[in-house]
Amino acid sequence: MISWVRDRFQALPPVLRVRIRRLWLSAGPILQCSVAAGLAWWFALDILGHAQPFFAPIAAVISLGLSLGRRWRRAVELVGGVTIGILVGDLLITQIGSGAWQIVVVVALAMAVAVFLDDGPLIPMQAASSAVLVATLLPPGGIGGFHRAIDALTGGLIGILVGALLPANPTARARRDAAGVLAIVRDAATELATGLREQDEDLVYAALLKGRGTQAAINTMRSDMRGGREISTISPLYWGSRMRLQKISATADPIDNGVRNFRVVARRALAITQRGEEVRPELVEIIADLSGAFEILREMMLADPGQSPDAADAARVLRTVARKARPELVADRGLSETALLAELRSLLVDLLMVAGLRRSSALATLR
């Protein structure tokens, strides 16, 4: 059954596959947001007895969001922004009335107070939107303003609670993100080696573009790794995953640095190709071997504890590639190839660190 579904999925147009995959990966956060919104509305309406407590589900959804990262921060910013907007709106609208210029004043003052109190991006936006609601749709003053602040606090807390009780698997998401970045650079390395062999400037440039296009995926990876650590702190279900998440998170900097170094290698290779120069086959072979190195690191990220390949397997592959990257290769060559080899060696240090080596041990491997 699984293979049949996979075959049908692969038969779909690429654009549709991308959209379905995106929806599938977001299914967990969507479930969390929808459940939290319903619970927040029910609690504020039926338990607290607040009429039309729409700030509660809004707070629940914003405190969760589709991103795992910084949920505590988002919840605090949201409650702070709503409170500021309600207080400013209530105080001013009761004195100056409603209208176009009154909205200008209320929004400006609410955002100014929010920016003065905190540099977070969510607080001023939430303060402004809350002030607009008070100035236009909601009757200002009275106990209603206090209820709205309570609703926002309730929704934020319920959002955090749902995130703790129905969490996305933090390790799975972090591993998937890291594997996705490594897969992109794996393909780019293959393309780069082919372009250098054939002296095809377009292929080399395409490899460079793939490397440059990874930044959004790297940012997502970092955000999900931070969010994973947060989930493992909040959710009792994943307290046992803290050590694993620390190890996965420790790969973020080496992966990021490795991708950056790959871009440098690709830029150097593009410049060499544009000048019509040839790169000696041994250096091209190292770049081709890097594709296999990225692949085994990708498989290592996706492997469960105790399964192969593990960090030791990946390190063995990388040491084999590192032994080929000898300074003697460019002893009688020009500056371009010397610089290319130096950048490849720097990239190998980053990849060895992804495989779990300390920087000193990685450097010693290439000594």
Q: What is the pLDDT of residues 46-90, one digit of tens each?
A: 998 888 888 789 888 877 765 555 666 666 777 778 778 877 887
Evaluate whether 147 touches 53 at the Cβ level (below 8 Å): yes
Please name which of 118, 119, 129, 136 lies closest in space to residue 59, comparing C-alpha atoms.
129
Tell the residue number behind the tokens 């009154």, with chain if given.
102
**Predicted confidence (pLDDT) per residue in 174-190, tens digit:** 888 889 999 999 999 99
In a shared domain, residues 74 and 187: no
pLDDT greater than 60 at residue 5: yes
Say how many domains are in the chain: 2
Evaluate whether 335 touches 325 at the Cβ level (below 8 Å): no
Extract the runs of DSSP E, i.e. beta strands, from 136-264.
none
Q: What is the DSSP string of 274-339?
A: HTTPPPPHHHHHHHHHHHHHHHHHHHHHHSPTTPSS-HHHHHHHHHHHHHH--GGGGTTS-HHHHH
Residue 16 placed within a domain: no
| pLDDT the model gives residue 142 | 53
State in Å, rounded, how far the first CA of the chain is from the last one.
Answer: 51
The span from the CA of 280 to the CA of 338, in Å, is 11
| pLDDT the model gives residue 99 | 78
Taking residue 298's Cβ as centre, other Cβ atoms within 10 Å add up to: 22
The span from the CA of 237 to the CA of 161, in Å, is 13
Among candidate residues 132, 150, 165, the one where a domain is terminated: 165
Among candidate residues 123, 150, 165, the one where a domain is terminated: 165
Residue 22 placed within a domain: no
Report residue 18 CA to chain centroid gap.
Answer: 17
Residue 18 placed within a domain: no
| pLDDT the model gives residue 249 | 83
175: domain range?
Answer: 170-365
In a shared domain, residues 210 and 149: no
In a shared domain, residues 309 and 333: yes
Evaluate whether 26 touches 136 at the Cβ level (below 8 Å): no
Evaluate whether 232 touches 170 at the Cβ level (below 8 Å): yes
**Predicted confidence (pLDDT) per residue in 117-144, tens digit:** 877 777 888 888 888 877 776 655 555 5
Evaluate whether 152 touches 59 at the Cβ level (below 8 Å): yes
The burial class, CB within 10 Å (0-12 / 13-18 / 19+), for 137 is exposed
With cut-offs at 50, 70 and 90, classify the pLDDT of residue 145.
low
In a shared domain, residues 138 and 182: no
**Mean per-residue pLDDT for 267-280?**
89
SS (H, E, C) 35-47: HHHHHHHHHHHHH
Report residue 128 CA to chain centroid gap.
Answer: 28
Six token digits for residue 313: 């397997």
**Predicted confidence (pLDDT) per residue in 307-363, tens digit:** 888 889 999 999 999 999 888 877 777 788 888 889 999 999 999 999 988 989 888
| pLDDT the model gives residue 319 | 93
Question: What is the DSSP-derived secondary structure letter of residue 200?
Answer: -
**Predicted confidence (pLDDT) per residue in 188-247, tens digit:** 999 999 999 998 999 999 999 999 988 888 888 888 787 777 777 766 766 777 777 788
In a shared domain, residues 39 and 179: no
Tell the residue number behind the tokens 């059954």, with chain if given.
1
| pLDDT the model gives residue 138 | 63
In a shared domain, residues 95 and 117: yes
Taking residue 216's Cβ as centre, other Cβ atoms within 10 Å add up to: 8
pLDDT greater than 90 at residue 255: yes
Among candidate residues 165, 197, 232, the one where a domain is terminated: 165
Q: Of how many residues is the chain composed?
A: 367
pLDDT greater than 90 at residue 304: no
In a shared domain, residues 263 and 181: yes
Tell the residue number behind the tokens 């995959």, with chain if given.
21
In a shared domain, residues 159 and 178: no
Write out the H or E segment, with its range, that includes residue 80: helix 71-96
| pLDDT the model gives residue 181 | 92
| pLDDT the model gives residue 191 | 95
In a shared domain, residues 61 and 115: yes
Name 61's Cβ contacts closer than 8 Å, sequence gap at least 6. 33, 36, 37, 155, 159
